[in-house]
Structure 1
Amino acid sequence: MVNWGMIGAIITPNVGGWVGALTMSGKVKQPDGKAWYQTLKKPSWTPPSWLFGPAWTALYSGMGYASYLVYTECGGFTDDAVVPLALYGGQLLLNWSWTPVFFGKQKMGLGLANMLALDAAAAACTYSFYNVDPTTAYFMVPYLGWLSFATCLNYSIWQRNKPKPKM
């Protein structure tokens, strides 16, 4: 028997990520045709661009499965599920909004502010999930690790590409 609830929980965060990526394609090109992100000064520890898609697919799938575990442990959308699943939804919205801010608006500093709020929201979500079902930590902790790395990367790119002050 197919568990459509679990499949939906896993696919939902991915869909938001895919929509964000698709809506940004074509909007991030410079007049010379180069992708805006490719023109930025980045640290040597920046992962190759091809890695982001598979990494986010795995992370979104893991957090989606964790949300399914919380949902089933709480018996659906019950009073016990309200806080953890609301925190999940909130951090997911912050996650999805980062792409249009950083890439679409090309606002690296605002992207960093968004990322810091996301870090706090994802940590709160992870804590609330863990209190419902400790198994969820296996799926949420890698996400927190990647967010920490992404926050450092966002900060470094922002610092390297700030306009020079006028003398």
Structure 2
Amino acid sequence: MANWPAIGSIILPNVGGWVNGLYFAGQIRSEEGKTWYDNLKKAPWNPPKWVFGPAWTVLYSSMGYASYLVWEDCGGFTESSVLPLTLYGSQLALNWAWTPIFFGMKDYKLAFIEIAVLGVTATATTIAFVHYNRTAAALMLPYLGWLAYASSLSYYVWKNNPKPDPRITEIKDEKTQ
């Protein structure tokens, strides 16, 4: 018999990642050639673009399963699950918010600040999880490591790329019409 709460907990975080990925895919890859993202000065330790999708799928799945383990050990949505699952939901919302800030707004400074806050919130989530289920906390550790890595990439982009001037984009848009 399928464990629907576990399956839903694994799928839920991935949905936000998939939605962001589909919505902003044109910013990252283009059949016409290079995108603005390709022209950014990126850290020498920046991985190839294809790494992000599989990495986030694994990370979202493991953090989702971790949330399920805590939910299960707390007996569902109960008084004891409020803190760890609220922290989990908060860090998940922050996680999903980074992509529109970086790719939509192209605000590299705000994206770095946001991912730093995300790192703190994800760490607090992991600490809260350890009180209920050590396996759940362990499942969060690769995510924390990736967030530290992603934060370094975000910081590098912020410090080495000027924020795009929206007036230039507007002028280009008028010329193409």
TM-score, with length taken from structure 2: 0.87
Q: Distance in 2 between matches of 1:89 and 1:27?
A: 27
What is the letter of the counterpart of residue 138 of structure 1?
A: A
Q: Deviations over 1:35-59 (max 9, x none)?
A: 2211101121101100000000000
Q: Is 1:129 aligned with 2:132? A: no
Q: Distance in 2 between matches of 1:48 and 1:29?
A: 12
Corresponding residue for residue 95 of structure 1:
95
Q: Distance in 2 between matches of 1:72 and 1:28?
A: 38
Q: Distance in 1 between matches of 2:56 and 2:136?
A: 17
Runs of 4+ aligned residues of structure 1 deviating over 6 Å after TM superposition are none
Q: Distance in 2 between matches of 1:12 and 1:139?
A: 16
Measured after TM superposition, the shift of residue 24 of structure 1 is 1.4
Alignment of 1:65-80 (within 5 A): 65-80=65-80
| Stretch moving more, 142-151 or 35-44 | 35-44
Q: Distance in 2 between matches of 1:7 and 1:131?
A: 23
- Mark the CA change 1:29 to 1:105 in structure 2 (over 3 Å): closer, same or farther: farther
Q: Deviations over 1:92-148 (max 9, x none)?
A: 000000000001111110100110110010000010011111111221000000000
Alignment of 1:140-159 (within 5 A): 140-159=140-159
Corresponding residue for residue 51 of structure 1:
51
Gaps of 5+ in 2: 164-177
Q: Secondary structure at the match of 1:99?
A: helix
Gaps of 5+ in 1: none
| Stretch moving more, 130-139 or 113-122 | 130-139
Q: Is 1:111 aligned with 2:111? A: yes
Q: Distance in 1 between matches of 2:134 and 2:28?
A: 40
Q: Distance in 2 between matches of 1:147 and 1:29?
A: 23
Q: Deviations over 1:19-44 (max 9, x none)?
A: 111111235689x8632211101121
Q: Distance in 2 between matches of 1:51 and 1:101?
A: 20
Corresponding residue for residue 9 of structure 1:
9
What is the letter of the counterpart of residue 129 of structure 2?
A: F
